[in-house]
Amino acid sequence: MKNTKITLSDSEIPEYYLNISYYLNKYLKKLPDPPLNPVTKQPIGPADLSAIFPMELIKQEVSLEEKIKIPEEVRELYKLYRPTPLIRAHRLEKFLDTPAHIYYKYEGASPTGAHKLNTAIAQAYYNKKEGVKTLATETGAGQWGSALALATNFFEMRLVVYMVRVSFDQKPFRKTVMETYGAEVFASPSDKTEFGKKVLKTDEKHPGSLGIAISEALETVVKNKGYKYSLGSVLNHVLLHQTIVGLEAKKQMKKAGEYPDIIIGCVGGGSNFAGIAFPFLVDKLREKRKIRFVGVEPASCPTLTKGKYEYDFGDTAQMTPLLKMYTLGSGFVPSPIHAGGLRYHGMAPLISFIYNEKLMETVAHDQKPVFQAGIDFARTEGIVPAPESSHAIKAVMDEAVKARNEGKKKVILFNLSGHGLLDLNGYDKFLHHKL
Ligand SMILES: *Cc1c(COP(=O)(O)O)cnc(C)c1O
């Protein structure tokens, strides 16, 4: 009998996160340029960040340790849904008539439906440990907000969420999920902050953007003593926590007796891609393994394919430190596509660095073929994928067809970052030709 699901037991949940900076430093002898203070243009120190992040996360942000231990309390919560399954997409392979072997790591198996909970639990834990009682954050599609709402609920903390207006309107049920876990949710731009009010003055129906929502969350933290801020992607510590995905996948691929030729993930801020890719990237750096890494982005927010590699702000009000990254400009407002989680003007500094070093490739796809790929996947594999994840699926299908045309057996691994059961508005529009 051929195997479809490759599972691991609770005790096989990794005990450490993998720190890619250690390996970049060791094998490339270089690291991404550091974040800068926007006024002095000097590299920022821990003190510059201590107003918004707990010290343990600041340490992780700059750590050059090879591994960082996952606290027992965090592993205990991971057991609710980890290890997530690795699934061989036999039916999709057959549908594409391809000799390629396609595997996906299913992060939609988390209670909130995406990979975001992996870092949400860790971030809530470290904040709680340092006495923080309230977190503020932004959310695009609502995946990050839902994950942090559940995580703060587990650690008995409060959460305030600024949700990008267009998603707030397209995905009203995500707000209900966040409120179910006890979070307070505002559509952004909101009238709760000075910056939100300023944006609303320019356009009272402004669709919002992640950059604007980040500014609102930061303003809230700066103005309320004892609040801290939490970010769902982009920063080194977030990518670090997501490596649990690739560490598990590596064990599972070994069980399956295969090793990937191509690893694919969608890229918004870069965290789910980093999560699946970094543990394998180590093999490329250390043993010169020939693996192709492909990040997939929306053609309407082409940060890597069309952006510039330069210092830019992480938010629209220009409150964050300057980050060296591929960026479309901190004022960029992407068109309201349905993959809300991919509508960010910048890219994680670590992913930007790796792309600039030509260790990964990137491809951009339009929304319609992406939805078609999502529907093909749902009809073969059963899971309705998140529109973000469908970007990865589109690229996977293209690679599998290429393998067929070249008559090559390729092993393709991708991160199915989340399910799309709260994204049905987009599916409905696509199916009824209203997209
Ligand atoms: C948030 C999200 C993304 C994009 O964020 P990354 O940090 O690039 O991973 C992708 N897929 C899903 C399902 C998401 O919720």
Average pLDDT over residues 344-352: 96
Neighbours of 169 (CB within 10 A): 14
Query: For residue 395, what are its two tokens?
Result: 């690229």
User: pTM score, two decimals?
Assistant: 0.97
User: Which pLDDT value is given to residue 172?
Assistant: 87
C-alpha–C-alpha distance, residues 268 and 186, integer Å? 22
- The verdict on residue 66 lying in a domain is no
- Please check whether residue 216 lies inside any domain of the structure: no
Q: List, for residues 95-126, the tens digit of each pLDDT value.
A: 999 999 999 999 999 999 999 999 999 999 99
Instruction: Return all residues near 141 (Cβ < 8 A) that are at least 6 apart.
Output: 167, 171, 174, 339, 340, 341, 386, 388, 423
Nearest residue CA, atom 14 of ligand 1? 341
How many distinct structural domains can be found in the chain? 1
226's tokens: 């004892």
Residue 297 phi/psi, 5-degree rounding, is -125, 165
The predicted pLDDT at position 421 comes to 95
Name the residue of 342, 370, 383, 415 whose CB sits within 8 Å of the most ligand 1 atoms, as the mutation to test its pocket: 342
pLDDT the model gives residue 331: 85
Residue 9, domain member (yes or no): yes
Question: Does residue 31 fall inside a structural domain?
Answer: no
- Over residues 64-90, the pLDDT tens digits come to 999 999 999 999 999 999 999 999 999
Mean pLDDT of 30-57: 94
Number of H helices, E strands in the chain: 18, 15
Residue 265 in any domain: the answer is yes
Per the domain annotation, does 252 fall within a domain?
yes
* CATH number for 408: 3.40.50.1100
Ligand 1, atom 1, residue with closest C-alpha: 341
- CA distance linking residue 234 with residue 341, whole number of Å: 12
Instruction: Give strand ranges (E) for 113-256.
Output: 134-139, 158-164, 184-188, 227-229
Token pair for 268: 């918004």
Q: Could you tell me the residue range of the domain that residue 320 belongs to?
A: 5-13+72-114+242-431
303, two tokens:
């940060």
Nearest CA to ligand 1 atom 13: 418
How far does residue 406's CA lie from ligand 1's centre (Å)? 32
* pLDDT (0 to 100) of residue 244: 98
Judge whether 374 and 384 are in contact, CB under 8 Å.
yes
Q: Is residue 321 part of a domain?
A: yes
* Ligand 1 center from residue 144 Cα (angstroms): 8
Question: Residue 32 in contact with residue 324, Cβ under 8 Å?
Answer: yes
User: What pLDDT digit, counting tens, does each position of 296-311 carry?
Assistant: 999 999 999 999 999 9
Ligand 1 surroundings by CB, under 6 angstroms: 114, 116, 141, 143-144, 233, 266-273, 341-342, 386, 388-389, 417-418
228 Cα: distance to centroid of ligand 1 (angstroms): 22
- For residue 274, tell me if it sits in a domain: yes
